[in-house]
Amino acid sequence: MPSWRISMRKIRELLRLKFEQGLTNRQIARSCNISRPSVAHYLARAAAAGITWPQPEEQDDAVLEQLLFPLPQSRRPVGSAKDRPEPDMLHIHRELRNKHVTLQLLWHEYKDTYPDGLQYSQFCDHYRQWAQKLSVTMRQEYKAGDKLFIDYAGPTIEIVNPVTGEAKPAYLFVAVLGASNYTYVEAAFSQDLASWIGSHVRALNFFGGVPACLVPDNLKSGVTKACRYEPDINPTYQALAIHYGTAVMPARPRRPRDKAKAEVGVQICERWILAALRHRTFFGLGELNAAIAELRDKLNTRKLRKLDTTRARLFAELDQPALRPLPSEPFSLSAIKRVRVNIDYHVDIDGHYYSVPYQLVHQELEAFISNSTIELVHKGRRIATHVRSFIRGKPTTLPEHRPKSHQQYLEWTPDRIIQWARTIGPSTATAVASIMESRAYPEQGYRSCLGVLRLGKTYSNERLEAACARAVHSRVTSYKSIQSILKNGLDRQSVNPEPPSTAHNVAHINVRGSGYYRSKGVTHVA
């Protein structure tokens, strides 16, 4: 058993790739960035628990975890492996080259023949020890509809701004199907996540189907750089794979044979597309992609040197029939972010607050963020969907998310917050109460009130009370106003009524004053 446990998200992906995609344990290990023994371990647990696929809707991460990891039981004593029949390792090695054949299947066949033979873990250990002694270079054979190799070309194409004359580089995205070499090419201004996902969606639409595996180079847009909760496949890229029912298997670092098809495809595109466009000037991305599409079609219909056929013909004969159908809707780009529910049962996404059921206060959620919607997921189950808002500092609250009795179910209440403020001073209590009264629901002011009360730790409770007194006097009771008063030291100034206007007390040669008219005997008539 592994000394560590992977996340439930990755376990679900592991089960999907096994039961839905039919990948081997080795392929699953590469896609999920875990060891092959770990894949076998979790699949064995799933088999022992009787887990089926697809998962029932009511089976969330908590239920799945209980099935996979029940309470520990006493282990049965395992006898020595001596005098037990040794498996035919060469037969096992050959059989593993066949699609869908796994060590677990071969072990079951071995146990059918030798009931007293090695247990599964010993069976796997013996095979791994035997395989380590081999030094075999296996030639890659690409099956129809199996893999799509993806990479960016090194050289770029410049697009000139017709107004300023500024040149901006465009990057060449290349996708090549393994069996037919059928190629998709397009240009994009960036290699960021949005461009990466958009190019994938357009490539799959061009092919008219979905391959079993996507094999990208280790580009940072596809393979996450620094992700503290899942440092491997970018979560958005993984969401694309789930949407299209495929798997992501990044090329291994320093393994050129893993991405040979992509590198050759890029080289061909550089020679037949980039070189052909070297004397042309482009003033827009659409103009450039139209020229690329024309040359791409010529490339796919050009006769191959060693075969009496073309990429387009091979695609129609091999890859196209084997591709899986596209989903009814294309993938919509979503960023995935970890968020924590505040005591006001809202989560903060780009400065706007979205409600969730109040029972999830303090819980950590996953937010799937698109241009139009916000989906909030807890342990694999969607618990809220909101229309996205870009108004900062405002809440979006669904009535059903509010508690029926806030005092009964939540730790924080308006009375408790005001009581805490009263321990600092009456002006602080008044300011806090004013903040909650200004909101449609008092709970929506909790975040601001707690921010005000925590200012006492930074500036002292005495200064906070003075700042709240000035804010109440000026009727500007908000967190930012009180923070500004403290930051600028206005709390140290006394709060006095506004002095009378001194406009007529200014000394100036043109300002004569009432005494002048009395001395001249002039009476002022109002």
**pLDDT score, position 444:** 66
pLDDT (tens digit per residue) in 271-330: 888 888 888 889 999 999 999 999 999 999 988 765 678 889 889 988 899 899 999 888
Residue 64 vs residues 9, 61, 76, 419: alpha-carbon distances, Å: 11, 5, 25, 43
**pLDDT score, position 510:** 52
d(CA 203, CA 323): 13
pLDDT for residue 12 is more than 60:
yes
Of the listed ranges 81-90, 105-114, 335-344, the one predicted with least confidence: 81-90
pTM greater than 0.85 (yes/no): no
**pLDDT score, position 279:** 84
pLDDT (tens digit per residue) in 225-249: 433 334 356 777 888 888 898 988 8
- pLDDT confidence bin for 83, thresholds 50/70/90: low
pLDDT (tens digit per residue) in 185-212: 999 998 888 888 899 999 999 999 999 9
pLDDT for residue 452 is more than 70:
yes
Residue 443 vs residues 105, 364, 376, 403, 475: alpha-carbon distances, Å: 57, 19, 20, 10, 21
pLDDT for residue 67 is more than 60:
yes
**pLDDT score, position 468:** 93
- pLDDT confidence bin for 129, thresholds 50/70/90: confident
Chain mean pLDDT for the chain: 79
Which domains, from first to last, does the chain contain?
Answer: 8-70+83-131 (no CATH), 147-322 (3.30.420.10), 341-407 (no CATH), 412-492 (no CATH)
Q: Which span out of 123-137, 230-244, 444-458, 476-490 was modeled with the highest average pLDDT?
A: 476-490
Of the listed ranges 31-45, 128-142, 508-522, the one predicted with least confidence: 508-522
**pLDDT score, position 175:** 92
pLDDT for residue 517 is more than 50:
no
**pLDDT score, position 229:** 33
**DSSP states along 217-241:** -S-TTTB-SS-TT--SB-HHHHHHH
- pLDDT confidence bin for 469, thresholds 50/70/90: very high
Of the listed ranges 78-87, 113-122, 318-327, the one predicted with least confidence: 78-87
Q: What is the mean pLDDT of residues 83-96?
A: 72
pLDDT for residue 135 is more than 80:
no
d(CA 48, CA 485): 64
**pLDDT score, position 422:** 92
Contact (CB, 8 A) for 215 and 147? yes
Q: What is the mean pLDDT of residues 36-46?
A: 90
- pLDDT confidence bin for 496, thresholds 50/70/90: low
Q: What is the mean pLDDT of residues 97-107?
A: 73
Nearest partner of 299 among 283, 281, 317, 314, judged by Cα: 314
517 vs 277 pLDDT, higher one? 277
Contact (CB, 8 A) for 236 and 193? yes
Longest dimension (CA), the chain: 135
